[in-house]
Amino acid sequence: MIEQTNFGSMPDGSQVTQFCLTNRLGVSVEILDLGGIIRRWLIPNHKQNHTDIVLGYDTVDEYLADDSYLGALVGRYANRIKHGKFSLAGKDYQTDINQGGNCLHGGGQGFNSKVWQCTVLSNSDNPSIMLELTSPDSDQGFPGQISVKVIYTLTEQNRLKIEYFATTDQTTLYNPTNHSYFNLAGHSSGSVANQQIQLLASHYTPTDENAIPTGEISVVDNTPFDFRTPTTINVPLASKHQQIEYANGLDHNLCLDAYTADLKSASYVGKAVAKQSGIELEVYTNMPGIQIFTANHFSNKKGKEDSLYQAHQGVCFETQFYPDTPNQPNFPSATLEAGKDFYSVTEYQVSF
């Protein structure tokens, strides 16, 4: 079932609509046509109530002012491009610079800030919506006009499937993700430090002090980034490792072991577990990397229902290409050539 409601208005007066996808088991996911934002994700609990497992806001204005991309679809390029500079097909490009002298998440007016065209694909079992956006040539400095589609499907088995499609009229970059901050004990329950995560990644990409990868692909052994067995999040957060100090927590790309260049379906890559709620989230994808981020800079950030979000109140599993790929020839490429069809898929399986 899908319920459409008016969520608010953009500064130009255009409407923002919320689509609430609900399956037969009573799980609901609220998605906005603004930025394809996942605003609430409601899991039935034994107190005849719901646990909302994602951080978010209650108004359009808060989302438009948000520098943390709560729940948003990110593009054209998730994560950073060093100084916003890259070369493609023999031409040099300069994108918008919007954070720390680099391009972050597609620039200051990225896909998260746009109202997408939304179509209901299925209003019954496995409710599904398709969001479409066209980004014109030179948008935020990226070459080519790119037409993107994202299909959200909530299955009757409590899996949220996110499929990304794109075509371009000129060779460009495309590295999409969803930037949900999960807290499986509830969005307003406090820190995720006592929750556990597992990620099947034997390597990670270390960064400099500005979160730009050094180009190394380093083993996770004997580092705070070894999540191959379920690990309580406060263990890496308490580490004095230089990489943790740089980011004031976890904010790193892990290299997923399941990845191969011809991987079309979503493979299991990791999970999060909150013992206090009994809710578990498994992550599946065909992408090569996943940015693990623990909301390190949050401080009294006003969220939904007047909650105040603090540092480490959520954890992100941003499936992606590695950061700064166009400047790192040894990283899997995020180049999309004219006439080629882009497809990626990420699935979040909830159990409770």
For ligand G6D, the binding residues (CB under 6 A) are: 68-69, 99, 104, 211, 251, 291, 293
Which residue lies nearer to ligand G6D by CB, 42 or 211?
Answer: 211
Active site residue: 187, 252, 312, 318, which one? 318
Strand pairing category for 85-88 and 196-199: unpaired
Strand pairing category for 335-336 and 172-173: antiparallel
Q: How far is the CB of 145 from ligand G6D (least distance, A)?
A: 26
CA–CA separation, 351 and 225 (whole Å): 25
Q: How far is the CB of 27 from ligand G6D (least distance, A)?
A: 26
Q: How far is the CB of 281 from ligand G6D (least distance, A)?
A: 19
CA–CA separation, 167 and 149 (whole Å): 9
Nearest partner of 322 among 181, 165, 219, 216, judged by Cα: 216
Task: Examine residue 228 and say whether the peptide bond preceding it is cis (omega within 30 degrees of 0).
Answer: no
CA–CA separation, 161 and 142 (whole Å): 28
Which residue lies nearer to ligand G6D by CB, 227 or 298?
Answer: 298
Task: Mark residue 201 as left, alpha or beta (left: phi above 0; alpha: psi -120 to 50; beta: remaining).
Answer: beta
Which residue lies nearer to ligand G6D by CB, 211 or 315?
Answer: 211
Catalytic site includes residue 156: no
Q: How far is the CB of 104 from ligand G6D (least distance, A)?
A: 6
Which residue lies nearer to ligand G6D by CB, 3 or 209?
Answer: 209
Q: How far is the CB of 180 from ligand G6D (least distance, A)?
A: 11
Q: How far is the CB of 337 from ligand G6D (least distance, A)?
A: 27
Which residue lies nearer to ligand G6D by CB, 211 or 233?
Answer: 211
CA–CA separation, 29 and 39 (whole Å): 8
Which residue lies nearer to ligand G6D by CB, 297 or 340?
Answer: 297
Instruction: Specify the DSSP class assigned to residue 83.
Output: G
Of all residues in the shown chain, the one whose CB is closest to ligand G6D is 68
Q: Would you say 56 and 72 are in contact if contact means Cβ atoms under 8 Å apart?
A: no
Catalytic site includes residue 318: yes
Active site residue: 30, 105, 179, 312, which one? 179
List CB contacts of 320: < 8 A, sequence separation 6 or more. 78, 79, 175, 176, 177, 253, 287, 289, 290, 291
Six-digit token pair at 275? 């013992």
Angle 125-186-257 from CA coordinates, rounded to 5°:
70
Which residues are tagged catalytic? 179, 318
